[in-house]
């Protein structure tokens, strides 16, 4: 008997370290699974950008506008629904909402892969945007609370590296898939990755919810919030096509302003509003979120203008252009996790400050040395890498601050508001790049691109100065 008990005790002692190790590793495994959201979203941006011309060519010319609306509806649905699903995730379970969002996204991209006509493609892209809107605010909030405070910077850095990896793979893999299998294969790939992530999520992720969050949301704040954000997003996306002073733009501007006013009043007066305005009383969260919007606008304006320069001014092919800008994303992959570790060690404030001024140096390099002459290695590439380095510093640190300075009970809605600000910054950056990079001749395009670079440098610096004046750490 004594021998048996002794054996049992020895076995327990042997199993204890493995159990402890499992408990320590599991949050990081969960983080990798949750990162499938940012991976799928970023990968989709690259895949769709390259695929759209092929999709248009595959259908009737008269249906081109519907295809274009497919790209627009995705962003409008995603941006306008982020707040709602962030709030619902806090109340009903982040894991539950994450798996629902992943299921919707997977079914939507699968439908896009087999779409018989542009109308079905439009529906699929709209539902895909809604699915991503569920994933984005729930994913990081779901697992960040399980990561020790001292390692959360590294966790956010790993999150950013996974997104940057998708940014590299998107344009390259899309070009190869389209050439071999056609454009439908790009959406089939997203569907396969979605199924893998769904199976892993069911097995690995733990539930995280807050039963004390009120169940009944104020209906007026929900609908007015969706209309407000949706109108702003639509204006930014369609302004160049419709004309910034057209009747459609003015109509949606008035609708957006009215909805914003109603939304703000509802959030202030309602007991259960869609957005907890008290979040913005936390100045660290407020400043980090606004800075993130500034930097996101700057990054995507830069990211979309550089290929325009290569293709329209230097006359490079799409494949050559894709490989030319790939080093920027590769660098982001390599440095984001180390920057996250540095943030844990030295604080966020310095990284945000330096991360905003470093890209400005890269832009200044471009303004001085980039011209009609095709000098990629000596002129274009150094500026590209410097901008990418600074952007990586800012991207992870602003998100890290925003999600570590708020009450854990509000992580879902806090991340949702943060992501809304980032997505609006993205949309504004793309709109600026498309609008200012257009021109009737090469000279005009180059002039417009350089004006855009000045704006980008200013936005990077403004965002960092905003944080520098705070006590964010």
Residue 472 pLDDT: 53
**Angle, alpha carbons 272-274-278 (nearest 5°):** 75
Q: Which residue has the tokens 């600074």?
A: 390
Q: Sort 9 into a burial class: Cβ within 10 Å, 0-12 / 13-18 / 19+.
A: exposed
Cβ-based neighbours of 118, under 8 Å, separated by 6 or more: 59, 63, 66, 67, 70
pLDDT digits 0-9 by tens, 204-259: 877 765 555 556 677 888 889 889 888 888 887 777 778 878 999 999 999 999 99
| DSSP secondary structure code for residue 151 in this structure | G
pTM for this predicted structure: 0.72
What interhelical angle do 36-58 and 94-113 show, nearest 10? 20
How large is the C-alpha radius of gyration of the chain? 23
Residue 317 pLDDT: 72
pLDDT digits 0-9 by tens, 167-213: 667 767 776 777 788 888 888 988 998 898 888 888 887 776 555 55
Q: What is the pLDDT along the chain (473 residues), one digit of tens a residue?
A: 444 444 444 444 444 444 444 446 777 777 777 777 777 877 777 677 667 767 877 887 667 777 777 777 888 888 888 888 877 877 777 788 888 999 999 999 999 999 888 889 989 999 998 998 888 777 776 766 667 766 766 777 677 677 767 766 776 777 677 778 888 888 898 899 889 888 888 888 777 655 555 566 778 888 898 898 888 888 877 777 788 789 999 999 999 999 999 988 888 887 777 777 778 788 888 888 888 888 888 887 887 777 778 877 888 776 677 778 778 777 877 777 777 777 767 767 777 777 778 888 888 898 888 888 778 888 889 998 998 888 877 776 777 777 777 777 777 678 777 877 887 787 777 767 766 665 556 777 777 788 888 888 888 887 777 666 555 55
The Cα-based distances of 340 to 25, 152, 473 in angstroms read: 18, 8, 13
CATH of domain 275-473: 1.20.1250.20
Q: Which residue has the tokens 């799928």?
A: 40
Q: Which residue has the tokens 């508001």?
A: 417
Is 20-211's fold the same as 275-473's? yes
**Angle, alpha carbons 122-126-128 (nearest 5°):** 115
Residue ranges covered by each domain of the chain: 20-211, 218-270, 275-473
Residue 391 pLDDT: 81
**20-211 CATH choice from 1.10.287.1040, 3.40.50.300, 1.20.1250.20, 3.30.420.10:** 1.20.1250.20
Contacts of 70-74 spanning 24+ positions with Cβ under 8 A: 70/118, 70/121, 70/122, 70/124, 70/125, 70/126, 71/125, 72/234, 72/237, 72/238, 73/122, 73/125, 73/126, 73/129, 74/48, 74/125, 74/126, 74/128, 74/129, 74/132
């Amino acid at each position: 008997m004594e021998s048996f008990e002794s054996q049992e005790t020895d076995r327990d002692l042997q199993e204890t370290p493995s159990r402890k190790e499992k408990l320590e590793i599991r949050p990081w495994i969960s983080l990798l699974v949750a990162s499938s959201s940012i991976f799928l979203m970023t990968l989709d941006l690259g895949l769709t950008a390259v695929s759209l011309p092929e999709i248009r060519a595959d259908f009737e010319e008269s249906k081109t506008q519907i295809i274009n609306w497919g790209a627009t509806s995705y962003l409008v649905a995603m941006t306008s629904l982020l707040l709602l699903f962030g709030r619902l995730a806090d109340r009903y379970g982040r894991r539950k909402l994450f798996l629902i969002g992943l299921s919707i996204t997977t079914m939507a991209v699968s439908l896009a892969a087999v779409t018989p006509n542009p109308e079905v493609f439009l529906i699929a892209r709209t539902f895909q945007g809604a699915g991503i809107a569920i994933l984005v605010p729930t994913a990081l909030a779901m697992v960040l609370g399980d990561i020790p405070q001292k390692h959360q910077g590294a966790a956010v850095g790993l999150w950013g590296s996974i997104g940057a990896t998708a940014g590299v793979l998107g344009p390259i893999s899309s070009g190869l898939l389209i050439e071999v299998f056609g454009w439908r294969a790009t959406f089939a790939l997203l569907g396969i990755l979605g199924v893998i992530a769904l199976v892993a999520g069911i097995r690995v992720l733990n539930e995280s919810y807050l039963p004390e969050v009120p169940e009944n949301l104020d209906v007026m704040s929900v609908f007015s919030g969706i209309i407000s954000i949706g109108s702003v997003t639509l204006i930014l996306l369609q302004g160049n096509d419709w004309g910034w002073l057209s009747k459609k733009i003015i109509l949606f501007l008035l609708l957006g302003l009215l909805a914003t006013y109603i939304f703000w009043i509802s959030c202030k007066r309602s007991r259960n509003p869609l957005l907890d305005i008290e979040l913005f009383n936390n100045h660290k969260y407020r400043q980090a979120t606004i800075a993130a919007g500034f930097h996101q606008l700057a990054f995507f304006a830069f990211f979309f203008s550089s290929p325009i320069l290569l293709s329209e001014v230097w006359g490079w092919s799409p494949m050559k252009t894709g490989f030319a800008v790939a080093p920027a994303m590769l660098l982001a992959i390599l440095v984001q996790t180390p920057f996250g570790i540095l943030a844990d060690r030295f604080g966020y404030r310095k990284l945000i400050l330096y991360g905003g001024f470093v890209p400005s140096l890269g832009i200044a390099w471009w303004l001085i040395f980039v011209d009609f002459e095709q000098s990629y290695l000596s002129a274009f590439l150094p500026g590209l890498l410097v901008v990418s380095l600074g952007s990586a510093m800012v991207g992870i640190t602003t998100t890290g601050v925003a999600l570590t300075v708020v009450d854990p009970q509000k992580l879902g809605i806090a991340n949702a508001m943060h992501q809304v600000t980032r997505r609006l910054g993205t949309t504004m950056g793309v709109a600026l790049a498309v609008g200012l990079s257009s021109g009737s001749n090469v000279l005009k395009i180059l002039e417009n691109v350089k004006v855009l670079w000045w704006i980008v440098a200013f936005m990077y610096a403004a965002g960092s100065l905003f944080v520098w004046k705070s006590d964010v750490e």
